Structure 1
Amino acid sequence: MIALVTGAGSGIGAAIALRLGRDGHTVAVNDLTLAAAEETAAQIRENGGQATAYGADVSDEQAVNDMVAKITEDHGAPEILVNNAGFGHQALFMDIAPEMFDKIFAVHVRGNFLCTRACLPAMLAKGQGHIINIASQLGQIGGVELTHYAGAKAAIIGMTKSLAREVSDKGVRVNAVAPGPINTPLVKALSETWKAAKRAELPLGRFGDPDEVGGVVSFLISDDAALFVGQTLGPNSGDVML
């Protein structure tokens, strides 16, 4: 199948793209910069998979529509969409500038909406598709100095459930993955104090690795996950137990 993974130039997105490439899917690798996307696409090709890089800002409607049109022209319409694009920012609530709040929601939430809106019609027409939204356990429990980030991730979980109720009976399965702290550039950029405190809270006692999230996405796309719709799976080291 044709899989579009956004924000796949590094971290969790790159790991997901690499896993889907190993699974035999043709991967459209997106990142804000084409160079970052190309690095991941090159790794997929080096491992024997098929991948093409696409640079686009997921918060820009025209850029998203143009990207999906180009992917469709190059490979066919995406049958798998992994909405992963995002970034982190740490600040106390009163220190969050409105501009940063808007940017967090533009990339995480608006980007999710725009990419889904661009890819969903072809999935519905075919009667088949998978949409995986990458959220965070912070969208379930909140996080100190991460109000804007946690709020955006909570919105993604709500969007996942709502869309699943609309399209599951039309052949499109929509689910979310809410990782706990994962050893990515985003988490590494947080303060050492925050990371030490969070690690001490985890029943497993460690942060996860990006490949472990890639495995969860691979499962959700598989036939073994046929009954999973509107779910939020949590590879989170025990930070959230549902």
Structure 2
Amino acid sequence: MKKFALVTGASGGIGQAVCRELARNGYSLYLHYNQNAAPIESLLQEFAAYGGEYIPIQADLSGSGGYKKITADIFSLDEIVITSGTAHYGLFTDITAQDAENMMYVHATAPMLLTKELLPKLIKKGSGSITIISSIWGQTGSACEVLYSAAKGAQIAFVKALSKELALSGVRVNTVAPGAISTNMMSGFSEEDIAGIQEEIPMGRLGTAQNIADAVQFLLSEKASYITGQVIAVNGGWYT
């Protein structure tokens, strides 16, 4: 029997790695993206050899009701993996009301409403899982990323609460909290900045998108069948 997973933000660095890992492990996929269709087209070609079903879904999760474009195209569903999101750098005193509204909607409101709409499909099966990609800054906070930290912290609180509500239904809810990962999100940093970050990380290097995908695959597997409500930190020991 085919197992279907929805991956939001599938066009991003972490999203692509997650999709590849799930496709290799036999999942059929709903691949959500917003503006960047090229990586999705590449993934569809790459996955043709696996023999699953791979369905692209375009939707803007930054605006009210965007999540409904996803739910309208979802039929069978076993897993939800939320990787979509955007970074925000700068002093907290410089943010606008629109900045705050957009950040919280993309990272917190849209994932919650999307999950609410899709939960009956998982509960009906009495199995499955929801995994949200949060951030180290949702755990400990970061200066000049206050808004992003708050949004990511909201994701973690959502996971912890929902996991308790769904525990008896057989649906598990967890989050992966990456540290500094070598993806396009790091492109705004200079080589000197990245070298400084690596010096702070006990393992002395940035993580990879595959490191995050491996953690997601584990959480979706039977090996994690007794794990729910947890924050799996993948950060090279940067924050413990």
1:102-121 aligned at under 5 Å gives the runs 102-121=101-120
Partner amino acid for 2:79?
Answer: I
Alignment of 1:99 onto 2:91: no
Alignment of 1:205 onto 2:204: yes
Aligned to 2:231: 232
Q: CA RMSD in A?
A: 1.7
Equivalent residue of 1:87, what SS? coil
Aligned to 1:128: 127
Aligned to 1:168: 167
Task: Work out the CA distance in 1 between the residues paired with 2:198 and 2:23.
Answer: 31
Task: Work out the CA distance in 2 between the residues paired with 1:234 and 1:40.
Answer: 29
Equivalent residue of 2:234, what SS? coil
The one of 44, 52, 56 equivalent to 2:55 is: 52
Partner amino acid for 2:55?
Answer: T
1:194/1:113 CA distance change after superposition, 3 Å: farther
4+ residue stretches of structure 1 with deviation over 6 A?
none
TM-score after normalising by structure 2 = 0.92
CA deviation vs aligned residue, 1:185-237 (integer Å, no higher than 9, x gap): 11222455543332221001111010110000000011111111000001111
TM-score after normalising by structure 1 = 0.91
CA deviation vs aligned residue, 1:46-86 (integer Å, no higher than 9, x gap): 452531211012244543223222131xxx2x210011110
1:229/1:213 CA distance change after superposition, 3 Å: same
- How big is the shift at 1:133? 0.8
Task: Work out the CA distance in 2 between the residues paired with 1:162 and 1:182.
Answer: 27
Partner amino acid for 1:19?
Answer: E
- How big is the shift at 1:36? 4.2
Aligned to 1:158: 157
1:191/1:98 CA distance change after superposition, 3 Å: farther
1:62/1:97 CA distance change after superposition, 3 Å: closer
1:47/1:199 CA distance change after superposition, 3 Å: farther
Alignment of 1:79 onto 2:82: no
Partner amino acid for 1:71?
Answer: I
Is contact 2:26-2:50 (8 Å) kept?
no
Task: Work out the CA distance in 1 between the residues paired with 2:118 and 2:238.
Answer: 32
The one of 28, 31, 35 equivalent to 1:29 is: 31
Is contact 1:213-1:235 (8 Å) kept?
yes
Partner amino acid for 1:57?
Answer: D
Is contact 2:63-2:102 (8 Å) kept?
no
Task: Work out the CA distance in 2 between the residues paired with 1:92 and 1:105.
Answer: 17
1:127/1:170 CA distance change after superposition, 3 Å: same
User: Percent of counterpart pairs with the same letter?
Assistant: 34
Task: Work out the CA distance in 2 between the residues paired with 1:22 and 1:44.
Answer: 11
Is contact 1:90-1:145 (8 Å) kept?
yes
Unaligned runs of 5+ residues in structure 2 are none
Is contact 1:8-1:40 (8 Å) kept?
no
1:8/1:49 CA distance change after superposition, 3 Å: farther
Task: Work out the CA distance in 2 between the residues paired with 1:139 and 1:201.
Answer: 18
Task: Work out the CA distance in 2 between the residues paired with 1:231 and 1:196.
Answer: 30
Partner amino acid for 1:139?
Answer: G
